[in-house]
Amino acid sequence: MKTEEKLNMTMLCDFYELTMGNGYFKNGYKDRITYFDVFFRSVPDKGGFAIVAGLEQLIDYIENLHFTKEDIEYLRGRKLFDEDFLTYLENFRFTGDIYAIPEGTPVFPREPLVTVRAPAIEAQLIETFTLLTINHQSLIATKANRIVRAARGRTVLEFGSRRAQGADAAIVGARAAYIGGCHGTACTISDEMYGVPAGGTMAHAWVQMFDSEYEAFKTYCEIYPTNATLLVDTYNTLKSGVPNAIRAFNEVLKPLGITKCGIRLDSGDMTYLSRQARKMLDDAGWTDCKISVSNSLDEYLIQDLLIQGAEIDMFGVGERMITARSEPVFGSVYKLAAVEDEEGNIIPKIKVSENVGKITVPHFKKLYRFYGRDTGKAIADYMTVYDEQVDDTGDMELFDPEATWKTKTVYNFTARELQVPIFLGGKCVYERPSLEQIREYCRQQVDTLWDEVKRFDYPHKYYVDLSRKLWQIQQDLLRAKR
């Protein structure tokens, strides 16, 4: 795997993080310990859950966090920052703690995906990059997971690099799509850097390059006899594309005893064309030939094609996945949840809003997921204050934090803490899973969700409840701030 040259992204911050940092420094807040939570408020595409991703790039960023001489000179040139602050920035490193929900976990609105405990300036400075990486990759992993679920076990390849909004969007976008369940990518560098299996078929240019379609197919089969997927729609799919593909398979692959091959459809009515093509291939004895399709696909089109009875083995999905076109923003925010006083007592903080859904959950918290012991299914998530213990040996009564009279008793369950320590005292303590492990973990965890939570339209709302103690603290702060 290519050794990734780690880019120093320290200056990829919003300018106010530096002006506030300078202000904290001048006002003696430099070492004030703060707690920030990353959380989102609604699932894209009105889905029932999201898939969190992007943590690995956050770790790389934090480990490489420092200001270069050029950065300091640039900041000095802005004539806004005190010399003492600039001197402090020269030796700036992240010294705090970060807790996060591992990549590939299904997550729900209001849950702390990442919690940062650090001196104010440090915690504030990392806001933008932290949100950027978690928002981008969670968006793509969530979209990819929808598309993969729509394909019901058929292969889905990510084809979107050429339409991605920038290089990073293509490269780590392919990584996120793989976490979400795609089987591979067309993006070569994502394979080299992260091990996302890269592969693909051929472009129309290959077919156009030769004097005839047949010659193009035959030549390709000769060069790649074990890996020939022929693009059959350049001229006329059923009149020339499929017959020429069959002829090339017969003449090149058959004598070699190869039965594995494929065709790709990229335009027209994919149900009709795939069914006709399937029949022609089967009649010619090419029953192992796989049919791939591509052309502005998304989860709804794929679902629709399968309902219509299309005969498709593989979907290539580009622009609508890599840009998450239907809802291209994963709106995680970074909010102060607590500070520490001089004695190290944790003081919870709240952000009030007229919109009930936007009121923050204060305090340094723990997040648990409850699974039924008999079913293995996720029942509810439960947030507590950091010093509470959950006893999963007996029954427990949960209540809806916005409609407290609505209660539910959970029994015969196990509780799993979702956040794990990533950095402690500035040092990475997290053993990074491989990309394969993340993808497999994602698959297993999505399997723990009930189908009602997974459906695309009007999914069942999964419970994310607060402990009585945490709820009371939130209510007390709300009352005090009114």
Ligand X SMILES: O=C(O)c1cccnc1
Ligand Y SMILES: O=P(O)(O)OC[C@H]1O[C@H](OP(=O)(O)OP(=O)(O)O)[C@H](O)[C@@H]1O
Which residues contact ligand X (rule: CB under 6 A)? 159, 186, 200-201, 294, 316, 318
Backbone torsions φ then ψ of 203, nearest 5 degrees: -95, 165
Looking at residues 237 to 266 of the shown chain, list those that interact with ligand Y (rule: CB under 6 A). Answer: 266
Nearer to ligand ATP, 276 or 414 (CB): 276
Q: What is the DSSP letter of 252?
A: I
Residue ranges binding ligand ATP (CB under 6 A) = 267-271, 295-297, 301, 304-305, 308
Total residues in contact with ligand Y, by rule CB under 6 A: 17
The span from the CA of 239 to the CA of 261, in Å, is 20
Residue 69: Cβ-neighbour burial (10 angstroms; 0-12, 13-18, 19+): exposed
The span from the CA of 322 to the CA of 23, in Å, is 39
> Shortest distance, CB of residue 315 to ligand Y, whole angstroms?
9
Task: Write the DSSP string, 284-320.
Answer: TT-TT-EEEEESS--HHHHHHHHHTT---SEEEE-HH
In the complex, which residue's CB is closest to ligand X? 200
30, 154, 163, 351: which one binds ligand Y (CB under 6 A): 163
Residues 284-313, one symbol each (x = binds ligand Y by CB under 6 A, - = not), give ----------xxxx----------------
Q: Which one of ligand ATP, ligand X, ligand Y, none is in contact with 169 (Cβ closer than 5 to 8 A by kind)?
A: none
Q: Which one of ligand X, ligand Y, ligand ATP, none is in contact with 225 (Cβ closer than 5 to 8 A by kind)?
A: none
> Shortest distance, CB of residue 153 to ligand X, whole angstroms?
21
Say if residues 203 and 220 touch (Cβ distance below 8 Å).
no
Nearer to ligand ATP, 48 or 316 (CB): 316
Say if residues 440 and 448 touch (Cβ distance below 8 Å).
no
The span from the CA of 248 to the CA of 216, in Å, is 9
Say if residues 117 and 422 touch (Cβ distance below 8 Å).
no
Nearer to ligand ATP, 14 or 304 (CB): 304
Nearer to ligand X, 186 or 216 (CB): 186
Q: Which one of ligand Y, ligand X, ligand ATP, none is in contact with 317 (Cβ closer than 5 to 8 A by kind)?
A: ligand Y
Nearer to ligand X, 119 or 184 (CB): 184
- Residue 99 is encoded by which pair of tokens? 């807790």
Nearer to ligand Y, 124 or 161 (CB): 161
Say if residues 106 and 438 touch (Cβ distance below 8 Å).
no
Residue 258: Cβ-neighbour burial (10 angstroms; 0-12, 13-18, 19+): middle
- Residues of this chain that interact with ligand Y (CB under 6 A) are 159-160, 162-163, 203-205, 266, 294-297, 316-320
